[in-house]
Structure 1
Amino acid sequence: MRLNKQEKIAIHEKLLKHKIRMLSKLWERIGVQRIDIILKPRSAPLKAIHRAAKKTGVQL
């Protein structure tokens, strides 16, 4: 399935909103600190950053 530019933008906007919500909830629970949240659309292939995060990160 190929997505057009508008569909790709909509997916990335949704991911960004989800990431911001998730980060704000984490900060409420554990206080403000540096946290890297890695998200990717299901349709996107795994990149090196995703593999590294799966290997060394903490899944939430």
Structure 2
Amino acid sequence: MQDKNKKNFERSGSTRKQIRFEDSLLDKIESDRAKTNQAFSEWVKDACEQKLKPKSTS
């Protein structure tokens, strides 16, 4: 679990993370994001939620 020693100005219920993206991946994200008009963080959160969805077995 994430260390919860937050500063007074930080939001409760969420944690800031720094992440580095390869340029080619970032280009693909930005291209797709432009079609949806989503904020970058919203797009990334949606992608994470999709990855975490249970996989159906057929």
TM-score (norm 2): 0.34
| Structure with greater Cα Rg | 2
Q: TM-score, normalised by structure 1?
A: 0.33
Structure with the larger RCO, 1 or 2 (CA within 8 Å, 6+ apart):
1
More helix by percentage: 1
